[in-house]
Structures are given as C-alpha cells and as structure tokens.
Structure 1
Amino acid sequence: MIAIKGAVLTVIFSVSSVLSTPALAGQNVRTKEFLSFGDEAKAQFIGSTIWTASVIATQIEQSMADCIADWYTDDPATVKQRNAEILNIMADYPDSYPTGIVVAVIQKQCGKFGG
C-alpha cells in the first residue's frame, strides 16, 4: 500500500510539472521562486495539479475525486478563493515545493491518496 501511495504522489508531481508552466517543467522550483511567477502562471499550475490529482483519484476512490471536484469547482469565484488559500499556505513554506503544498491541501480537504 505504501508503494501505491508513493507512486500516486509521484504521478501527480510529474504530470503537474509537465502540464504547467514551462518554467516549472523539469526543475526543482521552490515555493519562494514559484510565488514570484505571474498570477496566470500560478493559477494554471494550481489548476493543473488539482485536475491531475482529481483524475488520479477517480482511479483510486471516486468519493475522493468527487470531494476534490466539489471543493475546487468550476465557479471562477471559488477557484480564485481556493487558489488564494493555497498561495497563502505556500507563503508559509518558502523552501517547500509547490506541488507538495497543493497535494497537502487536497489531502487535508479530501483525505489521503490511497488511504
């Protein structure tokens, strides 16, 4: 089970890096650098990471995928609010990695992947 959890998180980290801004692809960008990116780039990265996590969750536990979809929604005002919440948390952890923060927030809201 631990191997599955690790594999799931690895996929989320990998896919979100590929789908997000070119500046993040293949780099170990820390949160402090990420926060200096433009608002559109940050929103795209957060959205891509959450989308990736949601798709993976459908293969693990549908209720988690539903929770992620309900929490993030398609409502622009809610998305903006969720992104602001995530960015505020990132500011508290400048030496962490952006994907790790997004995944941690998702898991706090909807439970751990594979467990």
Structure 2
Amino acid sequence: MIKVIRTEAQYDDALERVYELLQLHPALNTPEGDELDLLVTLVEAYEAVHYPMTASDPVRYLKNKMQQLGLHQSDLVPFIGDKTQVSKVLNHKRDLTLPMIKRLSKGLNIPIQRLVGV
C-alpha cells in the first residue's frame, strides 16, 4: 500500500521501490505503471520540502557545457562578444544579457532556462 512519505526511512524505501519498478519498464495504465507514477509524485513532494533546489548558476553550467564540447573561451566569442567580454562573463564579472543567452542557446543547443538561472 502506498503511503505519504514522512520520514527519511520511508523516503529511502520509496526510492528503492521506484528503482525496482524502473527495472521492469512498466507500461502506462498498468498496476506497476500506476504505482511508479504515484511513488514518483510522492518522492518529488518529499524532496521539494526536504531537499529544496537552489537556483542554478548559468556560468557554471556554461563552463560544464564547454568542457563537454571541448570548447575554449575563444569559441564563445561569436555568442558573447570579444575575448574580454567572454572572460568577464566566465569570471562572474558580467552577467549574460538576453541577446547572449539567445545566441548561446541556439548556437550550443543549451536550454534557455539553464542560462537564466531558474
């Protein structure tokens, strides 16, 4: 029987069951699929209260994306501006502007939400 998650032990049990259900690849509208949907909803509700997420750091995300793609600072010039502007942005001395965000999103396939810090 599925219950509201109130304790860390119940949370751990729910995560374990979610993992078990995911291994089964349940179809939608099956008992296992419905159980998975309910558990995920309960886990998300518990996490929202006990493990709230902080706003993301767009520059940190951009640096990680650069590393993944093997890019250097100079590769960001078309999206941000000259090398000085790129350096200022990457060192948190200048915020990303809306035009920069749009160019980075389109050019590097980055979700806009990741670049505005939400």
TM-score, shorter chain, exceeding 0.5: no
User: Which protein has greater RCO, CA pairs closer than 8 Å, 6+ apart?
Assistant: 1
Which TM-score applies when normalising by structure 2?
0.28
| Higher share of residues assigned helix | 1
